[in-house]
Structure 1
Amino acid sequence: MGRAGETLGGSRRRRGSIATALLVMLAFLAGDLLVHSSPAQAQQRPRTILDMLFGGGERRQPYRVVPRYSKPPARAASPGPARRKTRARKSAPKPVVAAPATPEKSKDAKTVLVVGDFLAASLASGLKDAYGDNEGVSVKSAVSGSSGLVRQDHYDWSKELGPLIDADKPAVVVVMLGANDRQPIDGPSGKVSVRSPEWNAEYERRVDEIAGIVEKSKVPLVWVGAPPFKFDRMSEDMVYLNDLYRQAAQKVSGEYVDVWEGFVDETDGFIYSGPGVDGQTVQLRNSDGISMTDAGDDKLAFFAKKAIDRFVSADGPVALGGQPDGMQLPPLANAATAVRSPPVALDDPSLDGGESLLGGNATRIGMTLEASPRDKLVLTGRGTGHVDGRADDFAWNDKSGAVASDDQPVAYRGSIDLKKVRKEQGIKPPEAMPTILDAIMDDWSNDNQAAKGDK
């Protein structure tokens, strides 16, 4: 029985192992059928015990290859309530900001005639922007970029300037030349080298000729000097030429505008970038080191505008007889008699020039019968305040009377009696200072007496 029991147990174990192997094979075959079956068959096939034992409960959709650019299948209309169609929101169009319209110039607008070379063109461009909002000023550009005073065969300003002034009838002529003049001049005996004595004499004559044409037309002249350049030799020649321009402008009572300091650094060296008209650091010159950028144009105009405003502003100088001869009427008061000035706006370009601070728009030449503050202080001992006892009241007679007065002493007496000190030491108030007229009469009388005694 023992052996028979062992045999029976062994056969049972073998049958169990065989059954397990059969179950594994059936599971493998079932999984293979699931993989290779169609989606419809996989969805219709019921779950079996093998699925619950060995997985396969999730019915995953087989991977399908969708051809590229194929249209997605149209969705069937749902039987539910119809949905409201919604449109895609379109972004609102951005408002178009119109550029500020330039005001039209009035019929009686004063003309600023700008003549010269390519730098004068930059100056004219800056002046047009500077006077863009001013209806009473119109800027006319009559420049020739390659012109100068040397190559008269290319463009002769001595012949062209007069007709331009007669045609435009400007209120002021602005000249800027010299950038193209570093070349020999054709002389009677041939070419004359730059900066030689013959070249200097001939070029100075031509500069004076241009200034004389403007003076003959009875139009104010504003001559703008040349700025520095990248090349040292060129800048050195410009320094010499600027001195000739300054002298020529002064000979005809014109204005010379020096722009040199606006385009150099603290060591007087050339700069590409620097402070613009708004105080911000901007690029002033192009990469060639010669021509100007837009910011450089504005800076040229900034310097020239201060001189031009004297002739085109509404409160400019008044000419005698209504003729634009540049002669000014004498003022009713002298600037030396002014003790206060009108307020000056912080954004006024003339603020750094100090042109109209003390005395307002008083001119340089004038006569007045009123004594100036200096004369009041030196001759009569009176300051500008006329307030007794104030720090600027230098009236010696008043102060001596105050010290000697018994009614209103100016200091605390303490234990000292001013009357007693005055009597004991014989202190007397100083005599009144004679007036300037009395002094002149005394000197004249003494001179006459001395002359008679000599005889």
Structure 2
Amino acid sequence: MFRRCASLSTVVILAAVWLATPASAQFFKTQPQPPQQQQTDNRPFLMRLFGLGRQEQQVAPPSVGPRIIKVPPAGQQRKAAPAPAAVVKPQNPKQDDARVVLVIGDRLAADLGRGLDVAFADRPDVRVETKTIDDAGLASTEDIDWKAFLEKRLADKPRPAAVVAMIGRADGRPIELPDRVVDFPSADWETIYKARLNELMRVTREHVVPFQWVGLVPVASPQATNDVTYIDGVIRDEASEKGATYIDVWEPFSQNGAFVASGPDLDGQVRQLRLKDGIGFTRSGARKLAFYVQQSLGAALNVAAPTANLMQQVSGGGLVMLLNDPGAAGEDKLITAADLTQPKPGTPLHRLVVEGLPLEPVPGRYDATALR
């Protein structure tokens, strides 16, 4: 009986193994399969023995050949999302009655005007107006006659609160007159050039508008720098002699008097200040150039509004010099000789102003004791 039970158990085990074996392996010789990654089987021993609780896993066949990716038609392709727009800081809008700074000159003056736009971007009461031509100067009037332009512009409204000129970079050439040609440089050339400088200053004086000459700067060409040095000296001497404001910017844009492309900006950081052509200014250079002019324009732009309006109404010859601000006292007109009252004879004021004598010493005060 025991032998019969053992034989029956052996048959059952063999049948279970037979059933767990794939059909293809029961009757046919199987091909060797490539080794696959062994997976951990966590089933109990009896379930693994009889092949129970096992789920068939579908293994993807290995990829053979190149991989093909379906690309949608051009009309169905997804468009790339647009890049976010750059945030631009809005500038303060200019007031309707903003004071105008007129900048005239050549290519360097155009860079100066752009620098002044940045300098006064936060001042709605100041607006920069530019009139520049790249190679325009005073040696030739073919491109523009600066005297005629100023006469017409200063007669229009609103009249500029100040005129800033940067002229002379391209003036290293002969002056052509109707009867002759004056060579550069020469004594006759300098005389004619100074006369044309004075004409511009005279026009601004007649319209009672402050006029400022901005000096020239070295350029990359050594020969052109020599010409610019000579012209800058003529402008500086003539402006100083006629009482106009001359702004020297040679040193901030040179090294030992020669051209230099890089240098410290307004923040003290070394940056490229001049363009690769050796003439124009970069954005940092233009802002630095405008800084020196901005400081000089303070006297003309920082007066009270009543004074500015009053000066717009003044006309005639001579230069009006503003000693103080009438707007602070509420005055609405300039003081004339008829408004002055003569001091009475015998008074200390008459003795000091009319007779030109010192005041009488006061007993007990320091000036009453004679120094010995």
Q: Which residue of 2 aligns with 1:327?
A: 321
Q: Distance in 1 between matches of 2:84 and 2:234?
A: 55
Q: Which residue of 1 aligns with 2:276?
A: 287
Q: Which residue of 1 aligns with 2:76?
A: none
Shift of 1:236: 2.6
Q: Distance in 2 between matches of 1:70 and 1:106?
A: 62
Does the CA-based 8 Å contact 1:249-1:256 persist in structure 2? yes
Residue aligned with 2:369, SS? helix
Q: Distance in 1 between matches of 2:28 and 2:308?
A: 120
Q: Which residue of 1 aligns with 2:24?
A: 45
Q: For each residue in 1:99-121, what CA deviation from the matched residue of structure 2 results, as whole angstroms up to 9, or x when unmatched?
A: 11111111221110111111111
How many residues end up aligned between the 2 structures?
A: 277
Residue aligned with 1:111, SS? strand
Does the CA-based 8 Å contact 2:108-2:281 persist in structure 1? yes
Shift of 1:239: 2.5
Residue aligned with 1:106, SS? coil
Unaligned residue ranges in structure 1 (runs of 5+): 1-41, 72-90, 332-368, 370-433, 443-455
Task: Quote the RMSD (CA, aligned, Å).
Answer: 3.6
Shift of 1:314: 4.3
Q: Distance in 2 between matches of 1:307 and 1:121?
A: 18
Q: Which residue of 1 aligns with 2:184?
A: 194
2:124 corresponds, among 129, 135, 147, to 135
Q: Distance in 2 between matches of 1:326 and 1:43?
A: 115
Q: Which residue of 1 aligns with 2:68?
A: 69
Does the CA-based 8 Å contact 1:47-1:57 persist in structure 2? no
Q: Which residue of 1 aligns with 2:113?
A: 124
Q: Higher relative contact order at CA 8 Å, sep ≥6: structure 1 or structure 2?
A: 2
Aligned partner of 1:223: which letter? W
**2:81 counterpart of 1:102:** no
Shift of 1:301: 0.4
Task: Sort the Cα spacing of 1:254 and 1:437 in 2 relative to 1 into closer, same or farther, 3 A.
Answer: farther
2:227 corresponds, among 231, 237, 240, to 237
Shift of 1:310: 1.4
Q: Distance in 1 between matches of 2:305 and 2:233?
A: 28
Instruction: Kindly report which structure 2 residues correspond to 1:54-453, keeping only aligned pairs within 5 A, or say none.
Output: 56=32, 65=64, 69=68, 96-167=85-156, 168-187=158-177, 189-265=179-255, 267-314=256-303, 326-329=320-323, 435-439=366-370
Task: Sort the Cα spacing of 1:96 and 1:152 in 2 relative to 1 into closer, same or farther, 3 A.
Answer: closer
Task: Sort the Cα spacing of 1:173 and 1:59 in 2 relative to 1 into closer, same or farther, 3 A.
Answer: closer
Q: Distance in 1 between matches of 2:147 and 2:129?
A: 19
Aligned partner of 2:68: which letter? Y
Q: For each residue in 1:216-242, what CA deviation from the matched residue of structure 2 results, as whole angstroms up to 9, or x when unmatched?
A: 111001110111112233223322222
Task: Sort the Cα spacing of 1:288 and 1:306 in 2 relative to 1 into closer, same or farther, 3 A.
Answer: same
Identity %: 32
Shift of 1:245: 2.0
Shift of 1:186: 1.2
Residue aligned with 1:46, SS? helix
Shift of 1:96: 4.5
Q: Distance in 2 between matches of 1:57 and 1:260?
A: 87
Task: Sort the Cα spacing of 1:106 and 1:313 in 2 relative to 1 into closer, same or farther, 3 A.
Answer: same
Unaligned residue ranges in structure 2 (runs of 5+): 1-20, 37-58, 71-79, 326-351, 353-364
TM-score by length of 2: 0.65
Task: Sort the Cα spacing of 1:437 and 1:330 in 2 relative to 1 into closer, same or farther, 3 A.
Answer: farther
Task: Sort the Cα spacing of 1:57 and 1:186 in 2 relative to 1 into closer, same or farther, 3 A.
Answer: closer
Residue aligned with 2:200, SS? helix
Does the CA-based 8 Å contact 2:190-2:234 persist in structure 1? no
Q: Distance in 1 between matches of 2:69 and 2:221?
A: 69
Aligned partner of 1:203: which letter? Y
Aligned partner of 1:118: which letter? R
Q: For each residue in 1:252-305, what CA deviation from the matched residue of structure 2 results, as whole angstroms up to 9, or x when unmatched?
A: 43211111011012x222100001122111111112211111111111101111
Task: Sort the Cα spacing of 1:190 and 1:43 in 2 relative to 1 into closer, same or farther, 3 A.
Answer: farther
TM-score by length of 1: 0.54
Q: Distance in 1 between matches of 2:69 and 2:180?
A: 86
Does the CA-based 8 Å contact 1:319-1:329 persist in structure 2? no
Task: Sort the Cα spacing of 1:293 and 1:97 in 2 relative to 1 into closer, same or farther, 3 A.
Answer: closer
Does the CA-based 8 Å contact 2:172-2:231 persist in structure 1? no
Does the CA-based 8 Å contact 2:102-2:129 persist in structure 1? yes
